[in-house]
A and B are shown apart, each in its own frame.
Chain A
Amino acid sequence: MTISFIHPALIMIVGACLLPMVRGPFRKPYMFLVPLLTFIDVIYLSGHPGTYGVFQFMNWELTFGRVDRLSMIFAFIMSLMAIIGTIYGMHVEDEWQHIAAWFYVAGSLGAIYAADYITLFLFWEMMAFASTFLIWARKDDEALAAGYRYILVHTFGGVVLLLGFVLRYQATGDLSFGQLNVSSPEFYTWLIMAGLMLNAAVPPLHSWLPDAYSKATAIGAVFMCAFTTKTAVYTLIRSCSGFDVLIYLGVIMAIYGIIYAIMENDVRKLLGWEIVSQVGYMVVGVGIGTSLAINGACAHAFAHILYKGLLFMAAGAILTTTGRQKLTQLGGLYKKMPGTMIFMLIGGLAVSGLPLMSGFISKSMIISAAFESHILWAGFALTLVSAGTFLAAGLRLPYLIFFGKNNCSEETWEKAQEPSWNMQLAMAIGGFLCIFLGCYTPFLYNMLPNTGVVFHPYNAYHLSETIQIMAFTAFGFFMLRKYVMPKDTTSLDLDWFYRMGGRAFLWTVKNPLQWCDNSLGKFYKSFGINCLMTTSAFWSWFDWHGIDGVVDGTARCVRAIGRRVSIVLQRGQIQQTICYTVSFAAVLLVAYVWI
């Protein structure tokens, strides 16, 4: 049976293009309808796995629609998040933000369904460029600078990916996007992996994430936290599964992210660091590469999109109402924003992996896979990070925003209130899904790509393990909380190299290079021009007196001789002239005859 294939990304793109024309009372229903249609399309496609949208472009075969179990789960959660994100941002009048967000979602969906590198690259870049506008939409200097940094870093990543797959094409003649040979990696394998890794924010290519996500608009960050890194995780699963270097990188990433999250003062930057840490789990899962690990990476990406979206929505609600996002300017807000507090707590507890929450059923799969594959150090390191995650997102963050010392200024306190109905609705959907996934495991587990893998998170030992870790982490926080109080600081990271490197370049251009250029100009003015003028004066003199002298002199000489001849020989008397002529001819004749 043939089915009609409408690419879900196409619905989002057409929807985004038509959005400015839909105004007034139709705007909100339309904004709900477009992502809903996309979601329905994704579900429809999930029932019809196969390969669709194959086009011949020059010598290459482009495949826009590879629908299998792996692309299905990612497309499902992305389109679901598009609905939640759009509801969250429904009150925003600035249509450019919605257009950028929808193009961004389209890029993500396109990359997920792409089965060749050219199509992947097309949508990959669409994501990067569309998301940049979500940062710039905040319209302040910080956001402008962060947007430029973001786009430059992502362009670099895109170029590395492009280089990788072009080299692969040259070597193998193959453009299809699938599992790479990771057991004997070639140079192009590393390049492709590095290009994909940059979007997954794997160190040392991670610094763009907390930088950009903390500067984006409230709704921009909600979209961004879901799509870029998790699409990259999908592509890593698709191409680099079982690449063991990813285990080391993932563990480093998980620990690195959590250390920075503990130090952070900016709420959304803290959540950005949390993403780095949590995506570390997924990267470890990809590196392990067993069926359970890959299922764990997919499940964790699914759960992560929902709880991280919820946390960013709560942080965005605080930013929108109070205008503040620094912990040193917040505190005691439970009196003003109890609803937001509940949602942030749900998100925080879900990311921490509390039983009956989504994180519990997803994170434990990856840790179990590490232990089952006898990579004990990775298993223990990730368990340590889960304690750190609870500390950073489940305890420190809600404590400092909603309880703790009230650092709000009078103005902030006055402005603090529950956000608009649509923001609360979006948070309620996110919160519900975080709990629903944790309570009803088959919903998520039945969607996972590797069937036949049995995993039961709710056994007494695992429950006891998790509850012990969380209880004693909470105790540790209670005892050591004075060491994690926020300070008005910024934490230096690897972006220092390109931020300061950029300045060093600018300084070099503005100072030594400019000085050299100026000196050269002055030297030329004082010496070069003089030399030139003297030389040209000489040649002018030479021309005038030398060349012109010879020419003019010859002419004058000829004229003078002519005048003398005419005075002496041509006096106007014909007889004399004839006499001179005949005599001259006779002399010539005699000379000729005799000589």
Chain B
Amino acid sequence: MIINLIDYLRDRLQYVTYSCYVAMAFIVIWSLSVDTSHAHTWAEKMIPGFWSLFGLCSCAIVIMVARWYGKSGIQTREDYYDN
């Protein structure tokens, strides 16, 4: 059943992608209506969709830092230590 569902969704990847975009838009719109009195800093109150931006930037930063760090010589051949 799970396999069939995944196959079904994979066959319609384009629709799944569009649905995700719609969901993301909905999430951002919803965030604009949420009460920000629990916010920790002014930035969260002033910048609309702050955490969306934060999430995207965090993801990009983590990926890029890992990539840069790995390429700086930290990632090396697999048999480096021989065991």
Interface residues of A (CB under 8 A from B): 141-142, 145, 258-260, 262-263, 334-335, 338, 341-342, 371, 376, 379-380, 383-384, 387-388, 391, 403, 459-462, 464-465, 467-477, 480, 483-484, 487-493, 499
Contacts and interface: CB of A to CB of B under 8 A. Distances in A.
Given A469-B51, A490-B77, A342 B64 contact: no
Contacts of A380: 54
Contact of A334 (B6, B63, B75, B78): B6
Interface string B64-75: 111101100111
A190 to B, nearest CB: 29
B12 interface: no
**What 10 A-B pairs come out closest when comparing CB atoms?**
A476-B59, A472-B55, A469-B55, A387-B58, A262-B66, A468-B51, A371-B40, A388-B62, A472-B56, A489-B75
Contact of B74 (A335, A462, A470, A491): A491
Nearest to A374: B40
A263 B70 contact: yes
Given A388-B59, A464-B31, A472-B53, 17 more contacts: A145-B83, A260-B66, A335-B3, A338-B3, A342-B2, A376-B41, A384-B61, A388-B62, A460-B34, A469-B51, A471-B52, A472-B54, A473-B55, A473-B59, A476-B60, A489-B77, A492-B75
A471 B69 contact: no
Contacts of B11: none
Contacts of A262: 62-63, 66
A391 B65 CA distance: 14
Contacts of A499: 81
A489 B27 CA distance: 38
B3 to A, nearest CB: 6
B10 to A, nearest CB: 8
A68 to B, nearest CB: 32
B67 A489 contact: no
Contacts of B66: 259-260, 262-263, 484
A396 to B, nearest CB: 10
12 contacts: A338-B6, A387-B54, A387-B58, A387-B59, A388-B58, A461-B37, A469-B51, A469-B52, A471-B23, A472-B54, A475-B20, A492-B80
A192 B61 CA distance: 36
B30 interface: yes
Contact of A459 (B38, B41, B60): B38
A335 B6 CA distance: 9
> Chain B's interface: helix, strand, loop or mixed, by majority?
helix
A58 B9 CA distance: 70
B57 to A, nearest CB: 8
Given A376-B41, A391-B62, A465-B51, A488 B78 contact: yes
A371 B67 CA distance: 30
Interface string B1-41: 01100100000000000001001100110110011111111
A467 B27 contact: yes
Contacts of B39: 461
A336 to B, nearest CB: 9
Given A263-B75, A468-B49, A473 B58 contact: yes
Contacts of B23: 471
Contacts of B37: 461
Interface residues of B, number: 46
Contacts of A477: 59, 63
B73 A492 contact: yes
Contacts of B59: 387-388, 391, 472-473, 475-477, 480
Contacts of B60: 476, 480
Contacts of B65: 259
Contacts of B36: 461
B78 A490 contact: yes
A464 B3 contact: no
Contact of B81 (A384, A468, A469, A490): A490
Contacts of A489: 70, 75-78
A461 B52 contact: no
Contacts of A490: 75-78, 80-81
A472 B23 CA distance: 11
A477 B31 CA distance: 21
A113 B63 CA distance: 42
B56 to A, nearest CB: 4
Contacts of B3: 334-335, 338
Nearest to A145: B83
A379 B40 CA distance: 9
B52 A263 contact: no
A462 B38 contact: yes
Contacts of A483: 63-64, 67
A174 B62 CA distance: 46
Contacts of B52: 468-469, 471-472
A471 B55 CA distance: 8
A422 to B, nearest CB: 21
A24 to B, nearest CB: 37
Contact of B2 (A338, A379, A460): A338
A263 to B, nearest CB: 5
A379 B2 CA distance: 38
Contact of A464 (B24, B51, B83): B51
Contacts of A342: 2
A428 to B, nearest CB: 15
A341 B1 CA distance: 13
B2 A334 contact: yes
Given A263-B70, A489-B78, A383 B54 contact: yes
Contacts of A488: 78
